[in-house]
Chains A and B, each alone.
Chain A
């Protein structure tokens, strides 16, 4: 992530959370936090607890973030933000936490006076992690139409091209799903699993080979010992944790999307 991208990202994040940016210039910004975001980011539970108990006037903090030290004026004091900085990762996590679940409607521009049906879709963004002693991740975005069971990939990209709104638009009505959301999630999970099962897992074969090799060494090491003891069991467990190939599917976010027939 370039510094410029980080700067833009931060602006959008604070804006989306209803915070006012009270000062900004090249390479920096000062934000007036809302009460909610102060609680989310500033880690001062005692202050908020005290305030709520005593009924004082809340005074959320201002935060100055510097995204480019060369460009920011010298007199600006603040936290320097870069891709590895803990503050940025805290904000990353916060974005994930605050928007895990969503429900949106397509804001269609179809002719007025005619009732437009909106079809329910389940959208899920997931991370698939392939893990042994190393790890890699793949991002997947799946959409499932909850009436006919149609499944599409890269669903998020399609959503980005639409005009979506949290309130149902005028002259629209939603169709009831035939597939319940719970079993929808189940279908998506199975779809991803079956996709994964069809992949070739050379990495897992190799990890298992490394695992077996180290296990053999371990057995050999304790060959002469009558009581293999705790350290043997420890080492064995450690090898399993180190090498055992695993795939984990975790959900980043998702929700219900009501879309027109022509949308997908």
Chain B
């Protein structure tokens, strides 16, 4: 075929001018140096990675180099990087970006990451990769800087949105891309309308999603790769959870997605020690828990949904403050609360007030004092978070709060405070994602999320590359409550904590039913008796174990060991 050949004529114009003007002429030594520079910087081959030669301070791991090579050479620069948490997706993305920049294929780059990670990305690209990335803080940055890091929530709003659409980006990187699984959201639409010459989507959890979510993510990267919408859903059930059922689909997805697992990397990981700490309620706490539990029998005026009772039960296991907060909200939500309703709430509030101490907090204090090192406490409830901060302060223990809702600067600042000044970081669920805390190796799960993936994400904040010590996880479970049931009957049975994240993904996708949270709500909400609840829990557990066995069976078959 004939290829279009361009010739840069700017040199010649200046050359002729200098002949006319009789100079100025360059220095022969510099002229020779310029040619030597050229010989050192020309890249004679399409294949191979140049980036490592430029990065003497970085020793990429073999799997990271392999990913970079594969993306550039066989995926044409459009890929979903889906390594398990903590394998260094940022490094992989950095290598790919650097490679393209060295080769002169990429100049203008847009990097969209969670707000809490903006500074960290900019810093890592500068210090590890010598890429002059700039965190977007002023609107002129878009046009003046070539490599810009921003949060998607900022980028999608005007005036930024219009500026971004008017610019031609060579490479777009999106971190935590699993948040773009729903094609009806504004974020999805924003990214869809970006011109994506080269594009990297980073995510740790793509496979837990439903098949429709995979379709949306892949279509964002490479529309048509999985066919068009109608054809796709004709072939695959929309609600299906198992990508693995269909070998063809799996193969297609693997053409645009790379997923390394910890086990495959051959890296020695530090160990995880998991300790379940049973908590004994005080008399008043038990009283409150029972009172809340009884609501279930109390007609439909409290709340028709099982969810509120369940929420209150779980909150009662966390702190009286959490319960109080929810009760207040329930009261406020009713426009004209009936007398009975008000009385009921008042009754519960009295129970709340009767609670004088928090058994979990006492235990946490004891642990923190014994550990005598940095500790992260995770709780699901903001009220608990605030209480704990106050409580620890009474004993002279400094702590910093962390929430998803914090502004970017505040998140960075809190992380820094924790690293330098405070012993404890108290994070709510939303704080679990998008911040790296590998300088700490103790986690207290003050209460448990009901979605095992979220639990893994919490642990992944500290059990990642760069963690040098064994990671110690303390799980608090209050005896004879829903919490203990989930812990003992589910999480421990399926060996949740000893697992690495990838296994869990696989297992959950094998399950052809809804999310685990829904099942738990159903089990605890609808079981008439303790016995029934146990049986249902056992069913759920054996389903998961069955899926696990299937997976192992499948692996054996694949390696010919069956």
Contacts and interface: CB of A to CB of B under 8 A. Distances in A.
Contacts of B12: 182, 185, 251
A8 to B, nearest CB: 10
A242 interface: yes
Contact of B35 (A9, A15, A156, A249): A156
Given A139-B39, A181-B15, A204 B3 contact: yes
Given A136-B46, A220-B227, A252-B38, A102 B25 contact: yes
B299 interface: no
Nearest to B57: A82
A141 B32 CA distance: 12
B195 A234 contact: yes
B531 interface: no
Interface string B197-227: 1100000000000000000000100111101
Nearest to B31: A99
A129 B130 CA distance: 24
Given A86-B132, A99-B34, A103-B25, A246 B4 contact: yes
B224 to A, nearest CB: 3
B2 A253 contact: no
Size range of the interface on A?
35 or more
B18 interface: yes
B193 A234 contact: yes
B223 A221 contact: yes
B395 interface: no
Nearest to B25: A103
Interface string A69-87: 0000000000000111110
A138 B44 contact: yes
Nearest to A18: B27
A102 B26 contact: yes
Interface stretch (A26-34, A53-61, A111-119, A222-230): A222-230
A99 B27 contact: yes
Interface string A196-235: 1100010111001010001011111111100000110011
Contact of B228 (A82, A101, A224, A249): A224
Given A135-B43, A222-B223, A16 B2 contact: no
B228 A220 contact: yes
Interface in B23-42: 23-42
Interface of A: 1, 9, 12-13, 15-17, 82-86, 92, 95-96, 98-104, 125, 127, 129-131, 133-139, 141, 156, 160, 164, 166, 181-182, 185, 189, 193, 196-197, 201, 203-205, 208, 210, 214, 216-224, 230-231, 234-235, 237-238, 241-243, 245-256
19 contacts: A13-B30, A85-B130, A92-B41, A95-B33, A98-B34, A101-B14, A135-B105, A141-B35, A164-B28, A181-B16, A189-B7, A204-B1, A214-B222, A216-B224, A218-B223, A221-B227, A235-B223, A241-B197, A253-B35
Interface of B: 1-8, 11-12, 14-16, 18-19, 23-47, 53-56, 72-73, 76-78, 103-105, 130, 132, 168, 170, 192-198, 219, 222-225, 227-231
